[in-house]
Amino acid sequence: MSLRKSTFLWIAALMIFFSNLHASHPQQSQVVNDMAIYLAVMPAEMLRGHPKEHPESDMHSQARIEGENQHHIVVSLFNAKNGKRLQNVTINAKVTGINFNGPIRKLELMLMGGVQSYGNFFSMPLAGTYQVELEIQQEGKSETVKAVFQYASI
């Protein structure tokens, strides 16, 4: 197996691990309108520093934010009744905190090992509690699902 492929598989496994770790926390998952929403947040440093040819080097249209205290937010969606992964959705996210009001960013489709999730990079400039606000629009449905998660940045 090539170094590039093994590195990609390692990062994918790490992201799935952190996604599962954070998603198991009661505040990191919600069910809204029969949609199971799982949120994972990890320091952006875990994804930075890859060689240019590495798949994560241009993740999210190169929309990485430079500087300290950057985080990568990943959202996975499932039908709460049958457990099937939801596809064809649009997710907009915003991070807010005390004296901080971040921009709205679209979470971009991520395929890791054939598993579909959505993610993007966000600034959390100071240690403290933040709200991650999600607006989810599923193709073919008129209502927008809204969910708010709390996340403590250290």
Listing DSSP states for 96-131 in one string gives EETTEEPPPEEEEEEEETTEEEEEEEEE--SSEEEE
For 134-154, what is each residue's pLDDT tens digit? 999 999 999 999 999 999 887
Which pLDDT value is given to residue 69? 80
The answer to whether residues 70 and 43 touch, using CB atoms and an 8 Å cutoff, is yes
pLDDT for residue 44: 80
Nearest to 79 by CA among 71, 90, 87, 67: 87
The predicted-structure confidence for 38-52, as pLDDT tens digits, reads as follows 999 988 877 665 555
Q: What are the backbone dihedrals phi and psi of residue 5, each rounded to the nearest 5 degrees, phi first? A: -70, -40
Residues of the chain with pLDDT under 50: 6-7, 9, 19-26, 54, 57, 60-62
pLDDT at 66: 59
Return the pLDDT at 78: 96
pLDDT value of position 65: 55
**Position 33, amino acid:** N
Given this model, what pLDDT does residue 54 score? 47
DSSP 63: -
CATH 2.60.40.3340 fits 3-153, yes or no: yes
- The upper half-sphere exposure of residue 78, i.e. CA atoms within 13 Å in the direction of its Cβ, equals 13
pLDDT at 62: 47
* Predicted pLDDT at 47: 64
CB 102 within 8 A of CB 96: yes
